[in-house]
Structure 1
Amino acid sequence: MSLRLILMRHAKSDWGSPELNDHDRPLNARGRKAAVAMGAWVGQSGWSPDLALLSTATRVRETWERASGGLDAVPPVELDPALYLAPPEDMLAALAVRTQRSILLLGHNPGLAALAQWLVAETPERVEFHEFPTAATLVLSIDREDWHDLGERCAQVLDFVVPRDLAGQ
């Protein structure tokens, strides 16, 4: 039995209020639209997770609030402060203690991009994969029984989408 991991980067955030600290920045209009589109895509594709594991940043929580509306069933949500601007090692540690088979991890770059590149066995031939732009969503299959000790290049790419792919849908 395999695991499914959905890596989603938060949608485009608003830089218009310099008095806000980074953790508290909300989404901008483009980000709000992209979050809804990406959530609808996840739901329509049948990738709905058993758990949503989120950074505590405002832009991440707002991305989830908008994206989760596109899912048939909204899974439980866990906010993990350790995922705010986390490196791959911290994301792997957060996954290792979970028991769900399908997890959506919603966070930040550069950590998400680095984790994606470390996990995938065969890299998609798209420049966006390496950049992992805002709202990028990667769906992986991992042929493992649990999340402990995930190894380098252990995952197969099932799908990879960026908001531009969904424009006009």
Structure 2
Amino acid sequence: MLRLYLLRHAKSAWDDPGLDDHDRPLNARGRTAAALMGRHMAGLIACGDMDRPTVICSSARRARETWKRVARAGKLDWPVLEEPALYMAGTGSLVGILKALPTELSSVMLVGHNPGMQDLALLLAGSGPQAMRARLQRKLPTGSLLEIGFNLDRFARIAPSSGRLIRFDRPKGLMADTGLSTSCDD
């Protein structure tokens, strides 16, 4: 089974109007959310609920900072590739990136931007819990993590509606979850 994880970059700063969009950093809320998501991912891995994917990250500063904070907080030493084409990529470009992945990769995480990430998830996730899919239809908040599973042997074979939405974790939901821990007994 293939696993595709989509991580939307965390909340970015808008306080410098002269700064190029590509160079915008995370704001304080984004830095906090990214660290929280990293600890959450570490817990998922400890419980066997998440693979160790190859990370493909947008070259935008806010995406790179998101991944660095997630990885540091979760102690995630995963292979990372920076991909400039992920910056503000549309669905067609994102599908192209996935279809071009080496056949030996079975678990990948894209760290990128909306609306492309949300549109990609809506295109690929043909099944999954209805409430989760409806929430995704409304919004993919900054810092959110999605997981889509495919009963396929390589990413080159993905097609519209060929995946199942398995996970939709939002930083706000994790902050509200006072039971967040690495315990697998939940």
Residue 142 (structure 1) aligned to one of 147, 150, 160 = 150
State the TM-score, normalized to the length of structure 2. Answer: 0.85
Post-superposition offset of 1:43: 2.0
Structure 2: how far apart are the matches of 1:30 and 1:128? 22
Post-superposition offset of 1:128: 4.0
Q: Could you tell me which residue of structure 1 aligns to residue 131 of structure 2?
A: 125
Say which SS state the counterpart of residue 15 (structure 1) adopts: coil
Structure 2: how far apart are the matches of 1:148 and 1:141? 14
Q: 1:25 to 1:73 in 2, by over 3 A?
A: closer
Structure 2: how far apart are the matches of 1:32 and 1:71? 13
**Structure whose CA Rg is larger:** 2
* 1:109 aligned onto 2:114: yes
Unaligned residue ranges in structure 2 (runs of 5+)? 181-186
Check whether the contact 1:13–1:27 (CA below 8 A) recurs between aligned residues. Answer: yes
Post-superposition offset of 1:41: 1.3
State the TM-score, normalized to the length of structure 1. Answer: 0.93
Check whether the contact 2:35–2:74 (CA below 8 A) recurs between aligned residues. Answer: no
Say which SS state the counterpart of residue 121 (structure 1) adopts: strand
CA RMSD of aligned residues (A): 1.5
Post-superposition offset of 1:92: 1.3
Post-superposition offset of 1:122: 2.4
Post-superposition offset of 1:72: 5.2
2:113 corresponds to which letter in structure 1? H
Post-superposition offset of 1:73: 4.2
Structure 2: how far apart are the matches of 1:125 and 1:69? 32
Structure 2: how far apart are the matches of 1:154 and 1:42? 25
Structure 2: how far apart are the matches of 1:83 and 1:48? 22
Structural mapping, 1:12-161, within 5 Å: 12-46=11-45, 47-71=50-74, 73-99=76-102, 100-122=105-127, 124-126=130-132, 128-130=135-137, 131-161=139-169
1:145 corresponds to which letter in structure 2? D
1:129 corresponds to which letter in structure 2? L
Q: Deviations over 1:25-65 (max 9, x none)?
A: 00000000100111221221122433100110000000000
Q: 1:31 to 1:72 in 2, by over 3 A?
A: closer
Check whether the contact 2:147–2:167 (CA below 8 A) recurs between aligned residues. Answer: yes
